[in-house]
Structure 1
Amino acid sequence: MSEITILASVQQFLQRQHGHFIDGEQKASLNTQRFELINPATEQTISSISIGDKHDVEQAVQSAHHAFKQQWANISPYEKGVLLNKLADLVEQHAEELAQLETLNSGKMINISRHLEVAQSVVFLRYFAGWATKISGKTMQPSLPSMHGEKYTAFTLRQPVGVVAGIVPWNFSLMIGIWKIASALTTGCTIVLKPSEYTPLSLLRLAEIAIEAGIPKGVINVVTGLGETGQLLIASPLVKKVSFTGSVPTGIAIGKMAMDSDLTRVSLELGGKNAVAILADADIDQYLPSLLQSSLVHQGQVCAAPERFFVHQSRYDEFVAKCSAAMQQFKISSPLEEDAHFGPLSNASHFQKVKHYLDLARENQQILAGGEILEQHGFYMQPTLVRSTGMNDPIFCEEIFGPILAVMPFEHEDELIEKMNQGRFGLTASVWSNDLSKIMRMIPQLEVGTVWVNMHTFLDPSVPFGGAKASGIGREFSDAFIEDYTELKSVMMCY
């Protein structure tokens, strides 16, 4: 099948001299340096962005601060929800445009961009819009002694913290950006987004669409640039909360910076080395399609996706044979082809990182299936299955964030729990079995933020998401996000 036709609106957007989006409009940077955006499927330059400097960041933060004090604060919770729903309507109307921008910029398969990235962004926007009118405090009756007949009552308020810095990764720029936008705006905050330098296009377009939806100028701002741009944003005294999604080392550095900046609030959704447990009774034929979809969606570049597979010894050979055969059926091609299954990695730097692990596996004769780099333009490699050499195997304990799945046999459940919990990460895990008793005993012992049963990687806005151990601080979605974006104020009255 041939590639889809690129929309005229997408072609026009790519040809722009992109600046930052500040106070409701595109703003050129005084910094003349630019960063080229590369299509990972072709290695061709498709556009470029400004590299934000101190002046750009100050402009964006001031705009967000003014909007927080003068505009967004004066809009009722109901109206906030209405505006978020209008934004969802417009995202649906511009769905194909946004999906094509994502695919051209990140290498995401076009059907994933359409049916996951854009479609789920709409679902999340509508979910958060519903919370706008439901943020509340509590009333309490203090037990203070009455000296002269006076009485006491108390209550709490949840008030927005102010300007939020949202730092967004390159793998799901639009959807993760919308998680941060919706969390901030629902609670009454305003936001300055700093997308990854590799994939900023969909968020720059979304900021324009937000103005069309009626969201006031300055409520959503986007500053593009490199890591230094994000550091300037975190250091601003007007930023009262930082929400970061990305790698563990960067998250730790951002957490330290936030603490040094007058204890700025911070939530960190970081990486993982997510484990899968396939128990002895598992129906491999039934589960394998879902397992591979969960593992290799967006070429495995998903923080929650599984990378470590623990398979009961009695099923190990069967799993390896069937998984290897299924991987060989993947059609690897342009992400703009609607019938392709697997595309390029998202950028050259990450491609080299994943290639390092492939080279290591090849040197140690660990490759069971795949493992080849495609000799063509673009950052393409085969999905790969490797056998683990042990718990200290770098491929088995270091986050790869790519299409390399490592497999290890186990015999007993006690040994399995210990191995699944080994390491610094604690984002997600899954158990595949119909033995409910074993599953229910395992769930509380797994040191992770999310446990899936007979599924993996899927997220829903009604279910809190976040990591344990080094995989993060705080939770997104459900009502858990409210605490991270609001300050709890206590009021006590004597009468």
Structure 2
Amino acid sequence: MSEVQILESVRQFMARQHGHFVHGKWIAPATSERIELLNPATEQVIATIAVGGQEEVEQAVQSAHDAFTNDWANTSPYERGVKLNKLADLVEQHAEELAQLETLSTGKLINLSRHLEVAQSVVFLRYFAGWATKIHGQTMQPSIPSMNGEKYTAYTVRQPVGVVAGIVPWNFSLMIGIWKIGSALTTGCTIVIKPSEFATLTLLRLVELALEAGIPAGVINVVTGKGDTGQHLIHSSLVKKVSFTGSVPTGIAIGKQAMSSDLTRVSLELGGKNAAAILADACIDEILPTLLQATFVHQGQVCAAPERFFIHQSKYDEFVQKVSGALQQLKIGSPLDESSMFGPLSNQPHFDKVKHYLHLAQKNNQVISGGHAIQGTGYFVEPTLLKVQGVDDPLFLEETFGPVVDVIPFTSDEELIAMMNHSRFGLTASLWTNDLAKALRLIPQIEAGSIWVNMHTFLDPSVPFGGIKASGVGREFSDAFIEDYTELKSVMIRY
């Protein structure tokens, strides 16, 4: 047992009576209602947060609007980049504190919080900071005919849209929050963040670091609460863009609401029932460690992680046997134990959802390995491998967002593509093969926004990310984010 000792600064932060962060300071909530945050490994209350209503939301949006008009939009691109890099420095300096807050809130393994959540947050912040001085338009020569010797020229300029509403899920609250903050601030926008009610603490700590980094008051605001708080935020007339990461049903509802509010810009990064195809030439022993890591990272609570495994018939029995054996070797335990390999699900509602799918699989005799919730304290379930009854099986079609994976054999490339695309989702997919020619022929046929070869799940800031079909609208990262956070203005001059 190598349980991490909780830092005193973490204990003190959790003990606070947290309010909302508006215009660079903490404000008391308008009501006495509080939300209890539970440690999913122990089910103990670790902190409470305030519930934001329309009054606090409008105050936060007005603060962001004032900061956009008076401060941030007029800050030079160079200074915006400097301040984001300073924030990255402070995240590095407080890395252990942030990692512990994230693990206590979400059940993420402490080493994952350290080396993925916090470390990659720094990488993304620095990446966004580098773009601040590289946002540009174009010049062009119009073809308007000259009647009396006059001439024409034209150019485009990208300008920040204004106030952004960032709605953040619970699975990677710090990192996804930073994706939204970095995108907004780099382009000159300001932001109001609404974290998940299950995972709020790391973003509340981050905004204090942002103020210390010299980011002006009002540029980043945080209002905590449940779904109603997010609804108030979306409906604000001063919000010019909504950036949402979360479930498909909620994303579709938010998209409709945003479009009905004077066509408010919206980007939606939603869920997926992602496919991983193991082709006939793949060596199971070679790919298994990488594939299992990509699949069961954070107990499968990753929107990009694979849930549907398509195995060539010639490899099916070997694959099922070796995956089942590997899953039984995973050490399930406290996320604060550095030797644990698998932790709890992040919250009670999600625990209940995953248990529903496990019960369905048990009822239909579809469990190959795992398949049970673990008795005792905490939201623990076994990593699970299931066989499905066909491509219309609910377990094959519905996203579990957890450590529950379906396997199905295929015999031909045509059958594989048809089954992979038999889904309303289109977020990610992967091919596992040493036959690069075949992979390159299959990639254009796969309906997904991101496709990997011999890897899955993990993202890089230089590569655009987003889904098609019901998995979302818009793209994160690379330079693709710039279009979603700026307006393209055209200027024509006669002289």
Q: Shorter-chain-normalised TM-score: which range?
A: over 0.9
DSSP 3-state at the match of 1:91: helix
Partner in structure 1 of residue 401 of structure 2: 401
Deviations 1:135-162 (A, max 9, x none): 0000010011111111000000000000
Partner in structure 2 of residue 19 of structure 1: 19
Residue 43 (structure 2) pairs with residue 48 (structure 1): no
DSSP 3-state at the match of 1:382: coil
Partner in structure 1 of residue 96 of structure 2: 96
Residue 194 (structure 2) pairs with residue 194 (structure 1): yes
DSSP 3-state at the match of 1:251: helix
DSSP 3-state at the match of 2:426: coil
| RMSD between superposed Cα atoms in Å | 0.5
DSSP 3-state at the match of 1:196: coil
Residue 73 (structure 2) pairs with residue 73 (structure 1): yes
Residue 452 (structure 2) pairs with residue 452 (structure 1): yes
Give runs of aligned pairs for residues 109-148 of structure 1, distance below 5 A. Answer: 109-148=109-148
Structure 2, unaligned runs of 5 or more = none
What amino acid is the match of 1:155? Y
Q: In 2, distance between residues paired with 1:71 and 1:243?
A: 22
Partner in structure 2 of residue 231 of structure 1: 231
DSSP 3-state at the match of 2:221: strand
Partner in structure 1 of residue 334 of structure 2: 334
What amino acid is the match of 1:330? L
DSSP 3-state at the match of 1:58: helix
- Identify the range of structure 1 (230-239 vs 27-36) with the bigger mean alpha-carbon deviation: 27-36
Residue 290 (structure 2) pairs with residue 290 (structure 1): yes
Give runs of aligned pairs for residues 239-258 of structure 1, distance below 5 A. Answer: 239-258=239-258
Partner in structure 1 of residue 221 of structure 2: 221
Deviations 1:217-254 (A, max 9, x none): 00000000000000000000000000000000000000
- Identify the range of structure 1 (364-373 vs 344-353) with the bigger mean alpha-carbon deviation: 364-373
Partner in structure 2 of residue 180 of structure 1: 180
Structure 1, unaligned runs of 5 or more = none
Residues 73 and 160 in structure 2, CA contact (< 8 A), matched pair in contact too? no
* Structure 1 residue 2 displacement after superposition: 3.2
* Structure 1 residue 41 displacement after superposition: 0.3
* Structure 1 residue 25 displacement after superposition: 1.1
Residue 187 (structure 2) pairs with residue 171 (structure 1): no
Q: In 1, distance between residues paired with 2:372 and 2:2?
A: 24
Identity of aligned residues (%): 73
DSSP 3-state at the match of 1:304: coil
Partner in structure 2 of residue 38 of structure 1: 38
Q: In 1, distance between residues paired with 2:53 and 2:338?
A: 39
Partner in structure 1 of residue 304 of structure 2: 304
Q: In 2, distance between residues paired with 1:144 and 1:215?
A: 45
Moved over 6 A (4+): none
What amino acid is the match of 1:76? S
DSSP 3-state at the match of 1:143: coil
DSSP 3-state at the match of 2:470: helix
Partner in structure 2 of residue 374 of structure 1: 374
Deviations 1:295-325 (A, max 9, x none): 0000000000000000000100000000000
Partner in structure 1 of residue 28 of structure 2: 28
* Structure 1 residue 74 displacement after superposition: 2.1
Residues 169 and 245 in structure 2, CA contact (< 8 A), matched pair in contact too? yes
Q: In 2, distance between residues paired with 1:262 and 1:74?
A: 26
- Identify the range of structure 1 (66-75 vs 169-178) with the bigger mean alpha-carbon deviation: 66-75
DSSP 3-state at the match of 2:104: helix
Q: In 2, distance between residues paired with 1:77 and 1:162?
A: 15
Residue 432 (structure 2) pairs with residue 441 (structure 1): no
DSSP 3-state at the match of 1:452: strand
TM-score (norm 2): 1.00
Residues 2 and 339 in structure 2, CA contact (< 8 A), matched pair in contact too? no
Deviations 1:363-384 (A, max 9, x none): 1111111112111100001100
